[in-house]
Amino acid sequence: MIKKVIGTVISVSLSCSLLLGSESLQQFAFYVMCGMTGIAWLCLFCGAVKDEAAAEIRSRLWISAPSSAFSLYAMISTGHTILAAASFMGTFFILTLAFRKPEVTA
**The pTM is what?**
0.83
* Structural domain of 78: 53-106
pLDDT score of 106: 54
Whether residue 77 lies inside any domain: the answer is yes
Q: Which amino acid is at 50?
A: K
Residue 104 has pLDDT above 80, yes or no: no
75 domain residue, yes or no: yes
Q: Is residue 15 part of a domain?
A: no
Q: Does residue 60 sit within a domain?
A: yes
- Looking at the predicted structure, is the pLDDT value of residue 18 above 60? yes
CB 69 within 8 A of CB 76: no
Average pLDDT, the chain: 89
Q: What is residue 50's predicted lDDT score, i.e. its pLDDT?
A: 84
Average pLDDT over residues 65-89: 95
Query: Which pLDDT score is estimated for 2?
Result: 83
Residue 105 lies in a domain: yes
Give the DSSP letter string of the chain.
Answer: -HHHHHHHHHHHHHHHHHHHS-HHHHHHHHHHHHHHHHHHHHHHHHT---HHHHHHHHHTHHHHHHHHHHHHHHHHHTT-HHHHHHHHHHHHHHHHHHHHSPPP--
94, part of any domain:
yes
Is 42 a member of any domain? no
Does residue 101 surpass a pLDDT of 90? no
- Residue 11: closest CA among 19, 41, 95: 19
The sign one gets for the Cα dihedral 96, 100, 101, 105 is positive
How many separate domains does the chain show? 1
Over residues 59-69, the mean pLDDT reads 88
Any domain includes 34: no
